[in-house]
Structure 1
Amino acid sequence: MSRRAVAEVPDLSGLTVAAAENAVLDAGLLPQRVSQGSYLPCAGRQDGTVVCGQNPRPYARMVAGRRVCFWCMPTGDDPPGGGGGGSRLPRGPRPLSPAGSKPL
């Protein structure tokens, strides 16, 4: 009677897509990204997307080589389309006196 290797499912929530895939592979399982509806937030390995759910649940034990499904969503840090707009000049502290230094 042969025994199959057992693997523990890692907790993927909050990881980037690439980090989640690596964690699943390191555990001896196969990653499977799932897109929700027609919107494809996980279509690429974008830095602005993080894992927001997975199946099976974290720390579950399963036979090595099985699939772990996860889905992700944009973090909201970057506006869609790459951003742009705004001022090209920095908005840091400015001198408040004509002499070029802040008054005490």
Structure 2
Amino acid sequence: MGRRRPGAEVPDLSGLTVTAAEDAVLDAGLLPRRVAQGSDVPCARCQDGTVVCGQRPRPHARMAAGNRVCFWCAPTGDDPPDDGRGGSRVPRGPRPLSPTGSKPF
């Protein structure tokens, strides 16, 4: 008879930061893998300022310990887009323009 590895339950990663998601997967006895959305290509853009927006396999599925859980992420909205042009297309609201803390008239 072959030896079977004990099963592990896949944690729900949606809404967690990348670091917290990796920790949750490791705590479950599985291996985390950040990928680009819709593919199996590793994602280098997923940083600590992003949250998990999807995963495969689905949460609470059972799988053998040591298998990989793929997840992808999206920016939280507080960070400027990383499109190489810098800045944000959405206005961030009024900001003080003088060192005194108020806008000049």
TM-score, with structure 2 as normaliser: 0.69
Per the TM alignment, residue 36 of structure 1 is displaced from its structure 2 partner at its CA by: 3.4
Check 1:82–1:10 CA distance in 2 against 1; reply closer, same or farther (3 A cut).
farther
* Root mean square deviation of aligned Cα: 2.6
The equivalent of 1:53 in structure 2 is 54
* Distance in 1, Cα, partners of 2:79 & 2:58: 29
Deviations 1:57-82 (A, max 9, x none): 00000000000000000011233458
The equivalent of 1:29 in structure 2 is 30
Check 1:86–1:34 CA distance in 2 against 1; reply closer, same or farther (3 A cut).
same
Partner of 2:8: helix, strand, or coil? strand
Higher-Rg member (1/2) = 1
TM-score, with structure 1 as normaliser: 0.69
The equivalent of 1:86 in structure 2 is 95
What is the aligned length?
Answer: 87
Partner of 2:59: helix, strand, or coil? coil
Identity %: 74
Per the TM alignment, residue 22 of structure 1 is displaced from its structure 2 partner at its CA by: 0.5
- Flag structure 1 segments of 5+ consecutive residues without an equivalent: 92-104
- Flag structure 2 segments of 5+ consecutive residues without an equivalent: none
The answer to whether the 8 A contact 1:48-1:76 is kept is no
The answer to whether the 8 A contact 1:18-1:45 is kept is no
* Distance in 2, Cα, partners of 1:59 & 1:21: 16
* Distance in 2, Cα, partners of 1:36 & 1:29: 20
The answer to whether the 8 A contact 2:46-2:74 is kept is no
Check 1:45–1:52 CA distance in 2 against 1; reply closer, same or farther (3 A cut).
closer
Partner of 1:22: helix, strand, or coil? helix
